[in-house]
Structure 1
Amino acid sequence: MSGTPLPPFEGILTSEHETLIAGIRDQWMRDGLSTCPVDRGEAERAVCEMYALVGLEPPRLRVWVDSPSGCFPMVSALGRPVVHYGHFEDQLKECLERRLRDRLGQRLWDRLRCQLRTRLWEQLWGQLRAQLRGQLLGHFGDRAGSEPSRYVWGAQDIWRDAYWIAFYTSALRVAGAEPDERLDALAEVTRGLGWWIPLAGAVVMSGRPAAIRRDGDLRLHCESGPALAWPDGHALYAWHGTRVPRWVITAPSCEAIAAEKDVEVRRCAIESLGWDRYVAETGLPLVASAEDPRDPALTLALYEVPEKVLGEPARVLLRVGGPASPGGSRGKAGLVVPVETATPLEASEWDHPGRSEGQR
């Protein structure tokens, strides 16, 4: 692709430009979601080249761990200063900005910047950095007194850097500028590793996750196990994008739900258990029932949900395959509706943005 001539950028991306940008974006997405084992030899070579390019002695000590969680105690044990790449990245971005501005002029560069952001932001920032990295950082933050709080801002990883590396790589190509050796070297390191923390004379590196599981809306989610997992057993559990304790996925129960203080975790746990079981085991009062107009073989059953359950009074609609009684056969999914919803038929027609059966 790098040898394919492109039309000059004149303010609007051509189909050739669009194809190029989509290819760069999609490759970074594949790399960011990869669960393949890393090539440790190639990764170490790339890291050493990266150190040399930023004026540092290549690390003689190269330590491997199996997850980001394993990086932090290892850094602490080594007792070496963390090399913060932020200064190098800022300098590199400033240099690339000048090159692109000189190449295109301020007006065209501003237009290209906006168009690239539109095409890259949602996936490379939203899905990788905000969703995956953000959830993992939140998970680390939940662990009071853990090592990550001291070292996480020195950590590099593909979820953190995919967006801006792809952004400038695309910009240079569309502008018809020469590649940048430092950007390409950083891209190679970023693609070849999971997390890595550069130190003075050393580097701590981890491989990729062994599993990344998401729902149809591309949120971290798994109903039967961890949504993120690494070979050393470190794992993160999530329900449709909400980070939850392990028990919500592996052993939900009405007792655990009642003891949970976080309303979002309670909601996820009920959905994981199944609204049918929750209604039956807690004895939620039946408001009304009616034949399902979309399927006469089913019954619509509307139940009262006390304020203490979801943080506000509500009702839940179930489609059941038997009599609409507490002992009847019910579906796992439930549709939560406002407490003012008077009838099952009204509830079945209720449409709330961002909510669907069995989800938020």
Structure 2
Amino acid sequence: MSTPRREPRRIPVPGDDSRVLEIRDEWLRHALSTEPAERGTAEAVISELYALAGQSAPEFAWVGSPAAAVALIPPAQALSLGGDLPVEALIATLVTSLRERLDQYVGAWRDRYRWPDPPRGGASVRELLNNGVAPALRRTIRDSVAWVLRGELATSSGLHWYGQQDAYWVAHYDLHRRVDGVRFAPGDVAQLDLWATLARSCGWWWPRENVCVIAERPLVARTERLPSDHGEARLHNGNGPALAFPDGWTVHAWHGTRVPSWVIDAPTADRITGERNVEVRRCAIEHVGWAAFVEDAGLELLAHAEDPGNPGCELLLYNAWPEPWRAPARLLLAVNGSVERDGTRRRYGLRVPAGFDHPLDAAGWTYGLSGAHHAQLRRRT
């Protein structure tokens, strides 16, 4: 005789999606805060993490930016078989184990309980957490801010933590605790609260033997919101640095892409045509606008034609600027057939072989088609 399948118990909703968005915005504010660091709070919490790792409290060295920290960080301690782990490895083990346990709690809670069915066409609060808000926080805080900062550093700085930008993973568990009703073990709650306090208190930090280097939070943090229900944003400032720190270190970004300062402050045709990085060149051209760039660079329009796969848009074929490291080419200017994440339709240029004299032939070549076949396209994406 088979055992009847037990359905998960239903629980009343302890909050709604407005509560989720309220907590999400709270953590986004901490992740992008430009207030001075709460130094006493940060030092006290880091001392507790050292203690949990079996180490005595370190001395603290505060710096004006992550870039300044690189010069102060002691060399990483070499790992040896059977030897003691350095303090940064011990703290890494602590936080990895914590997150594994918290994930187990979230999974067990999900299997044991389920939310009441959402309205037709809607999403449950749990789906909003796991498939919407949590990934959006990760993309905004980790991918679009922390990793952009990390890419700007001249050298690797070894194991470190992001302080305010660790908010993306802290928020994930905080949302499950405060909205989803997940009950974590008291000891794990206490340790999660330490990381949450650090995310509210300081910038990046580097724990090392007997010393911990901590960076101040930025003075400036400029982002743009994307048209998403989950509040996703990315670094962007068309009038100056997207991030600026108390010691003068800056990071520039154009719609989420890290760029040299000249792209924002002084984009000229000479700089653009001399730039080898395609993404940097794209951002600079978008900043000045294709019409201004074409005029400033003195590009000659050879031919134009209606884009058959993109009603209302034209294909423009120009003589491209010379690049000593590449074969002669022409520039095909087109409009993207699909909408970008920010809701716009991007104009873009493609280098095509110099032998093309007609835009349809050049456009077809990019798809592996002849111009005649390309002219029969109904819709291009």
Q: Normalising by structure 1, what TM-score?
A: 0.71
Q: Describe the shift of the 1:96–1:71 C-alpha distance in structure 2 as closer, same or farther (beyond 3 A).
A: same
Q: Corresponding residue for 1:336? A: 348
The CA deviation at 1:156 is: 3.5
The CA deviation at 1:281 is: 2.6
The CA deviation at 1:120 is: 2.7
More helix by share: 1
The CA deviation at 1:150 is: 4.2
Q: Describe the shift of the 1:135–1:25 C-alpha distance in structure 2 as closer, same or farther (beyond 3 A).
A: same
Match of 2:62 among 64, 86, 91: 64
Task: Please state if 1:162 is matched with 2:175.
Answer: no
Counterparts in 2 of 1:141-180, with a 5 A limit? 143=154, 146=155, 149-151=156-158, 153-159=159-165, 161-173=166-178, 174-175=180-181, 177=183, 180=189
Cα distance in structure 1, aligned partners of 2:254 and 2:96 = 36
The CA deviation at 1:74 is: 1.0
Q: Corresponding residue for 2:245? A: 230
Counterpart contact for 2:31–2:141, Cα < 8 Å = yes
Q: Corresponding residue for 1:210? A: 219
Q: Corresponding residue for 1:128? A: 141
Q: Corresponding residue for 2:281? A: 266
Match of 1:200 among 203, 209, 219: 209
Cα distance in structure 1, aligned partners of 2:249 and 2:93 = 31
Identity %: 33
Q: Describe the shift of the 1:273–1:45 C-alpha distance in structure 2 as closer, same or farther (beyond 3 A).
A: same
Q: Describe the shift of the 1:112–1:21 C-alpha distance in structure 2 as closer, same or farther (beyond 3 A).
A: closer
The CA deviation at 1:17 is: 4.8
Q: How many residues end up aligned between the 2 structures?
A: 310
Cα distance in structure 2, aligned partners of 1:134 and 1:351 = 36
The CA deviation at 1:66 is: 0.7
Q: Give 1:262's aligned amino acid.
A: N
Cα distance in structure 2, aligned partners of 1:11 and 1:341 = 61
Q: Corresponding residue for 1:74? A: 72
Cα distance in structure 2, aligned partners of 1:176 and 1:301 = 55
Counterpart contact for 1:314–1:336, Cα < 8 Å = no
Q: Secondary structure of the residue that 2:235 maps to in structure 1?
A: coil
Cα distance in structure 2, aligned partners of 1:165 and 1:109 = 23
Cα distance in structure 2, aligned partners of 1:270 and 1:196 = 36
- RMSD (Å) for aligned C-alpha atoms: 4.1
Q: Give 1:186's aligned amino acid.
A: W
Q: Which runs of 5+ in 2 are unaligned?
A: 1-7, 79-85, 116-123, 227-232, 306-313, 336-344, 353-357, 361-377
Q: Corresponding residue for 1:191? A: 200
The CA deviation at 1:34 is: 1.1
Counterpart contact for 1:101–1:109, Cα < 8 Å = no
Q: Give 2:279's aligned amino acid.
A: E
Cα distance in structure 2, aligned partners of 1:168 and 1:188 = 14
Q: Describe the shift of the 1:97–1:112 C-alpha distance in structure 2 as closer, same or farther (beyond 3 A).
A: farther
Q: Describe the shift of the 1:230–1:280 C-alpha distance in structure 2 as closer, same or farther (beyond 3 A).
A: same
Cα distance in structure 2, aligned partners of 1:109 and 1:257 = 55
Counterpart contact for 1:305–1:316, Cα < 8 Å = no
Per-residue CA distance 1:23-53 (angstroms, 9 max, x = gap):
3322111101111112222222232233334
Q: Give 1:169's aligned amino acid.
A: D
Q: Corresponding residue for 1:275? A: 290
Counterpart contact for 2:222–2:243, Cα < 8 Å = yes
Q: Corresponding residue for 1:220? A: 235
The CA deviation at 1:89 is: 1.1
Q: Corresponding residue for 1:87? A: 93
Counterpart contact for 1:286–1:301, Cα < 8 Å = no
Per-residue CA distance 1:86-133 (angstroms, 9 max, x = gap):
20012212333455566x374549999765322432332010001111
Task: Please state if 1:26 is matched with 2:25.
Answer: yes
Task: Please state if 1:139 is matched with 2:152.
Answer: yes
Q: Corresponding residue for 2:81? A: none
Q: Give 2:96's aligned amino acid.
A: D
Per-residue CA distance 1:289-327 (angstroms, 9 max, x = gap):
89xxxxxxxxx9955263868998544479xxxxxxxxx
Q: Corresponding residue for 2:121? A: none
Q: Secondary structure of the residue that 1:124 maps to in structure 2?
A: helix
Counterpart contact for 1:82–1:154, Cα < 8 Å = no
Q: Give 2:31's aligned amino acid.
A: G
Q: Secondary structure of the residue that 1:58 maps to in structure 2?
A: coil
Q: Which moved more, 1:11-20 or 1:90-99?
A: 11-20
Counterparts in 2 of 1:103-114, with a 5 A limit? 104=109, 106-108=111-113
Q: Describe the shift of the 1:94–1:315 C-alpha distance in structure 2 as closer, same or farther (beyond 3 A).
A: closer
Cα distance in structure 1, aligned partners of 2:214 and 2:14 = 39
